């Protein structure tokens, strides 16, 4: 029965860790996603979907790790600690990958905003009254005879 006790301990502690980290991601990720998506409703929906994805992946990994056999010379406590270490490692990797993806999305959105702003500024300059011709005088302003190009 020692194996069953170790198994249950691992599963219970792993589930508690998974849901604890999931709640932290849910609460702490919301302002970040609000900034990325600029729409609170979309950001909230995406945040919940990401947390569900995190839970599913982590619990799936926990289930697979829980059946891994560790060296028979290791005691039950060592086995649980080793397996929880694997769970924490995988949770950390999943979290890091999620953050990298979100940071790339945010950076792409910022680049698009800057690009749109630059495009708008250029378009305004092309349409504006201060548009220049080849001779250097703005459109619509008469040139003095000394400014006229020589033929």
Ranges of residues in the chain whose predicted pLDDT is under 50: 1
State residue 17's pLDDT score: 87
Asked if residue 119 is part of any domain, the answer here is: yes
Asked if residue 21 is part of any domain, the answer here is: no
pLDDT in tens, 1-41: 456 777 788 888 888 988 988 898 888 888 888 887 788 89
Asked if residue 62 is part of any domain, the answer here is: yes
Asked if residue 142 is part of any domain, the answer here is: no
Asked if residue 99 is part of any domain, the answer here is: yes
Asked if residue 48 is part of any domain, the answer here is: yes
Q: How many domains does the chain have?
A: 1
Asked if residue 133 is part of any domain, the answer here is: no
Contacts 24+ apart (CB under 8 A), 87-91: 87/14, 87/17, 87/18, 87/58, 87/61, 87/62, 88/17, 90/58, 90/61, 90/65, 91/17, 91/18, 91/21, 91/58
Beta strands in 96-138 (DSSP E): none
State residue 1's pLDDT score: 40
State residue 99's pLDDT score: 79
Domain interval for residue 94: 43-69+77-126
């Amino acid at each position: 029965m020692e194996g069953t006790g170790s198994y249950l301990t691992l599963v219970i502690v792993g589930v508690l860790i998974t849901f604890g980290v999931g709640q932290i991601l849910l609460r702490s990720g919301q302002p970040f996603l609000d900034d990325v998506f600029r729409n609170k409703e979309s950001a909230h929906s995406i945040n919940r979907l990401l947390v569900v994805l995190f839970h599913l992946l982590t619990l799936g990994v926990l289930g697979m790790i829980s059946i891994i056999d560790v060296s028979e010379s290791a005691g039950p406590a060592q086995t649980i600690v080793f397996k929880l270490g694997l769970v924490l490692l995988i949770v950390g990797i999943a979290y890091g990958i999620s953050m990298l993806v979100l940071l790339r999305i945010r950076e792409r959105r910022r680049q698009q905003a800057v690009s749109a702003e630059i495009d708008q500024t250029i378009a305004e300059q092309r349409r504006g009254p201060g548009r220049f011709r080849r001779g250097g005088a703005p459109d619509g302003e008469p040139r003095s005879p000394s400014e006229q190009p020589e033929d």
